[in-house]
């Protein structure tokens, strides 16, 4: 669903920009790599059609990248004997290979077309937006010109990403530390409308909830029974998972929010959103008005996309997304 240009511009004007952020522009590659967005769009279309999980995987990858060190593609760096990189932090081990692959594919083509011009960070930002749009979500404009970061350390990840077992106050404070208010946090969480979560992330709601109840009684009973069946061997097979949205898992819509009051929220965090008085009003708003959800999601994603960006002084355009241009220790 596309919004009028006037609305999109108003959304951007409400976002504060630091001096470094002001160096970004909508037409950053107009002369240096005019086919940049076309190449990314063709790459993501091919990948999404062959593997429908790509959109959700890339969206999650983008979020994990931006919340740690900022939107600088630091999550792509591979570990070496000198450094354990961000992608090997415990919470990042479950990130989808599809997200990494689609960006690397686009980068490979771009290096042949306009070498050493387009950053991996910009590719990830645009690929995420285009994939969200491709599966039914909103289109939003993105300022370009990010540089790839020069630091990627697993030790810096913990505490910067929400965990499924965190209290709502903890999650709200975490987002607040990144500059996001409660409504923006709920809107971004709406990304759970596509993709899946691994059983290990919600198994405690199924098998060992409390002394009185093995299963969380607030889970829809049929939903819980289905999850127990799906996740029966999750302690042996760590890859076992379930869709975040049981009804339209491949479509970006507001069904995720509609599911929460019905006891169909997968994670404890999902369920808490509809219970906590600070977040419940936004859940109810988005459940009844998809247009408002799309508008708020777009605005939050635009804000997220400029979080902690690197410019020429503290970044580079990597030749390969998985390694710095020079050895970093």
Please give the Cα distance from 143 to 214 (Å, whole number). 49
Catalytic residue flag (residue 234): no
Is residue 202 within 8 Å of 164, Cβ to Cβ? Answer: yes
Comparing CA positions, the residue from 101, 111, 124 lying closest to residue 50 is 101
204 is in an annotated binding site: no
The answer to whether 162 is annotated as binding is: yes
Alpha carbons within 13 angstroms on the beta-carbon side of residue 92 total 33
CA 164 to chain CA mean position, Å: 15
Distance separating alpha carbons of residues 95 and 60, to the nearest angstrom:
7
Which residue of the set 64, 198, 213, 234 is catalytic?
A: 64
Look up residue 218 and give its two tokens: 């607030």
Is 70 annotated in a binding site? The answer is yes
3-class DSSP state of 241: strand
Give the C-alpha separation, 92 to 180, whole Å.
Answer: 22
Residue 248 known to bind ligand: yes
The answer to whether 237 is annotated as binding is no
When computed from its CA atoms, the radius of gyration of the chain, rounded to whole angstroms, is 20
Consult the annotation and say whether 19 binds a ligand: no
Task: Please report how many Cα atoms fall inside a 13 Å half-sphere around the Cα of residue 271, on the Cβ side.
Answer: 17
Find out whether 192 is annotated in a ligand binding site.
yes
Cα–Cα distance measured from residue 329 to residue 325, given in angstroms and rounded to the nearest whole number: 13
**Residues with Cβ < 8 Å from 226, sequence gap 6 or more?**
none
Q: Is 74 annotated as a binding residue?
A: yes
d(CA 266, CA 219): 8
- Determine whether the annotation assigns residue 245 to a binding site: yes
Alpha-helix runs per DSSP H in the chain: 5-13, 36-50, 54-67, 97-113, 120-134, 168-177, 182-189, 204-207, 221-230, 255-259, 268-273, 280-288, 290-305
The response to whether 68 counts as a known ligand-binding position is yes
Query: Which DSSP helix (H) or strand (E) runs through 197?
Result: strand 196-198
Residue ranges of the annotated binding site for substrate are 162
Give the residue numbers annotated as catalytic, written as ranges: 64
Residue ranges of the annotated binding site are 65, 68, 70, 72, 74, 86, 162, 192-193, 245, 248, 253
Residue ranges of the annotated binding site for heme b are 192
């Amino acid at each position: 669903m596309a919004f009028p240009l006037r609305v999109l511009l108003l959304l951007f004007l409400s976002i504060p920009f630091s001096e470094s952020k002001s160096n970004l522009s909508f037409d950053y590659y107009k002369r240096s790599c005019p086919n940049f967005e076309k190449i990314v769009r063709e790459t993501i279309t091919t990948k999404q059609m062959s593997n429908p999980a790509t959109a959700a995987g890339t969206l999650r990858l983008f979020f994990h990248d931006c919340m740690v060190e900022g939107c600088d593609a630091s999550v792509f760096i591979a570990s070496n004997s000198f450094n354990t990189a961000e992608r090997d932090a415990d919470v990042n081990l479950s990130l989808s290979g599809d997200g990494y692959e689609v960006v690397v594919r686009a980068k490979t083509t771009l290096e042949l077309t306009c070498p050493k011009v387009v950053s991996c960070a910009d590719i990830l930002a645009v690929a995420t937006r285009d994939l969200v749009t491709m599966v039914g979500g909103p289109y939003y404009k993105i300022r370009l010109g990010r540089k790839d970061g020069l630091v990627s350390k697993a030790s810096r990840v913990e505490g910067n990403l929400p965990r499924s077992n965190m209290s709502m106050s903890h999650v709200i404070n975490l987002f607040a530390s990144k500059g996001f208010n409660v409504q923006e946090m709920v809107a971004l969480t709406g990304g759970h409308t596509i993709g899946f979560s691994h059983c290990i992330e919600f198994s405690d709601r199924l098998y060992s909830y409390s002394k009185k109840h093995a299963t969380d009684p607030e889970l829809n009973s049929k939903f819980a029974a289905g999850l127990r069946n799906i996740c029966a061997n999750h302690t042996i097979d760590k890859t076992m998972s379930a869709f975040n949205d049981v009804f339209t898992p491949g479509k970006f819509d507001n069904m995720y929010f509609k599911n929460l009051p019905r006891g169909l929220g997968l994670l404890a965090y999902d369920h808490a959103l509809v219970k906590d008085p600070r977040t419940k009003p936004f859940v109810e708003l988005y459940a009844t008005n998809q247009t408002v959800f799309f508008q708020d999601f777009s605005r939050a994603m635009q804000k997220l996309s400029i979080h902690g960006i690197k410019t020429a002084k503290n970044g580079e355009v990597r030749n390969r997304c998985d390694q710095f241009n020079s050895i970093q220790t």
